[in-house]
Amino acid sequence: MLEHALRGDKRYWSWVIALMALIGAGVLFYLRQFNEGLGITGLGRDVTWGFYIAQFTFMVGVAASAVMVVLPYYLHNYKAFGKITILGEFVAIGSVIVCMTFIFVDMGQPFRIINVFLYPTPHSMMFWDTIALGGYLVLNIIISHITLGSERKGVAPPKWIKPVIILSIPWAISIHTVTAFLYAGLAARPFWMTAILAPRFLASAFSAGPALLILFCFILRKFTKFDAGREPIQKVAQIVTYAMAVNVFFVLMEVFTAVYSSMPEHVSHFQYLFLGIEGHGNLVPWMWVSVILGIISLILLIVPRTRQNEQILILACVMVFISLWIDKGLALIVAGFVPNPLSYVVEYVPTLPELGISAAVYAMGLLIVTGLYKIALSVRKQLG
């Protein structure tokens, strides 16, 4: 089946080559970072995790979101999702690989990563995160390979795949829970030390991920002959709506407990994000954009007339994705470090090499998803 990714029309190859050019540029930036050190990024003694880890956190959520189409179809026989579960699983594969790559580029000694496996450390959440992500990748590769392969052969998939698929459902929940555990157990970082962090992560994952899936479906409808169908897209849109409503509710809960308690160690991080502290506030405009986009998109999604209008739905999904990307992919990680444990305010701005490497990692993810989607669509085209 892999050979389908190597055949395509001019548009396909232009897109692939554009992505490869981005990847190539990123590789050059990374070589410089590998030789000189992570000092070429905007990271420093105080904000020690930044853009890379934030992208990792956001993309773990996107990876987990495949469960939102797998669960209804396999657990509840919701036939309408039949055509798009493979799309969700392929997004999961691409996202997990992107996550692992973001971790790799953030490591000070990346070639020692094998130490995590040579010296397993059950009391470290990072150890469990590598197991969870690795396992999830393997699960999705097996599931998509077997189901698409069976579809190609025109037979039902073998019986043993069903328990594997069922396993992938709690596993998807667990990857984002254990990622939240990385942050939520640190007494040193009160901004993250909240019981609601894992639920928040899941709610925003199940909004942003399926929103991205909807956008991919519309892109496929525009550029290929594949049409997911109106009913599946509308159902996923409903899922995004509920998840986004829960997510907004959770964020308001966070703001309430921090601000009402008026404990400085909790309030200060929200103050930094939304108002700025002592003139430091480079994330303030981003936060308000995220809030506005989040509210508008939620309204557009809740009102059936706007949700059912496909043009408006596309707009709403874009706004959901951007709003949640700002929240998790910019604000969450950085604000955990500002103010720092000695209550100094030191800001963070990613540098050009840092952004170049990140763009390349995303381009690699898009390339993987492009190739996998090409395979799925070609297989289905051959079936007629």
Least distance to other proteins, CB of residue 133, Å: 13
- The helix (run of H) or strand (run of E) holding residue 153 is helix 125-153
Task: Count each helix (H run) and each strand (E run) in the chain, helices first.
Answer: 16, 0
Q: Using the minimum distance from each CB to other proteins, give the nearer residue, 32 or 162.
A: 32
Least distance to other proteins, CB of residue 127, Å: 5
Least distance to other proteins, CB of residue 277, Å: 14
Q: Which residues bind other proteins (CB under 8 A)?
A: 3, 36-39, 43-46, 48-49, 103, 106-110, 112-113, 115-116, 118-119, 121, 123-127, 130, 182, 185-189, 264-265, 336-337, 340-344, 346
Alpha-carbon gap, residue 280 to 137, rounded angstroms: 40
Q: Using the minimum distance from each CB to other proteins, give the nearer residue, 14 or 121.
A: 121
Alpha-carbon gap, residue 39 to 373, rounded angstroms: 37
Q: Using the minimum distance from each CB to other proteins, give the nearer residue, 254 or 265.
A: 265
Q: Which residues pair with 277 in a beta bridge?
A: 280
Measured CA distances, 188 to 103, 266, 338 (Å): 22, 12, 12
Q: Using the minimum distance from each CB to other proteins, give the nearer residue, 48 or 306.
A: 48
Alpha-carbon gap, residue 86 to 99, rounded angstroms: 20
Least distance to other proteins, CB of residue 38, Å: 5
Distance of CA 324 to the CA centre of its chain: 10
Tell me how crowded residue 334 is: count the other CB atoms within 10 A of its CB.
26
Which residues 6+ apart lie within 8 Å of 310 measured at CB? 218, 233
Alpha-carbon gap, residue 87 to 71, rounded angstroms: 14
Q: Which residues pair with 280 in a beta bridge?
A: 277
**Residue 30 in contact with residue 360, Cβ under 8 Å?**
yes
Tell me how crowded residue 105 is: count the other CB atoms within 10 A of its CB.
22
Q: Using the minimum distance from each CB to other proteins, give the nearer residue, 8 or 229.
A: 8
Which residues 6+ apart lie within 8 Å of 150 measured at CB? 156, 157, 158
Least distance to other proteins, CB of residue 119, Å: 5
**Residue 237: which of 56, 60, 80, 55 has the closest Cα?**
80
Least distance to other proteins, CB of residue 125, Å: 7
Least distance to other proteins, CB of residue 342, Å: 4
Q: Using the minimum distance from each CB to other proteins, give the nearer residue, 161 or 291.
A: 161
Alpha-carbon gap, residue 312 to 244, rounded angstroms: 16
**Residue 148 in contact with residue 376, Cβ under 8 Å?**
yes
Least distance to other proteins, CB of residue 370, Å: 21
Least distance to other proteins, CB of residue 4, Å: 11
Q: Using the minimum distance from each CB to other proteins, give the nearer residue, 14 or 261.
A: 261
Q: Using the minimum distance from each CB to other proteins, give the nearer residue, 73 or 183.
A: 183
Q: Which residues of 122-132 are buried (b: 16+ CB within 10 A; e: fewer)?
A: eeebebbbbbb
Q: Using the minimum distance from each CB to other proteins, give the nearer residue, 252 or 342.
A: 342
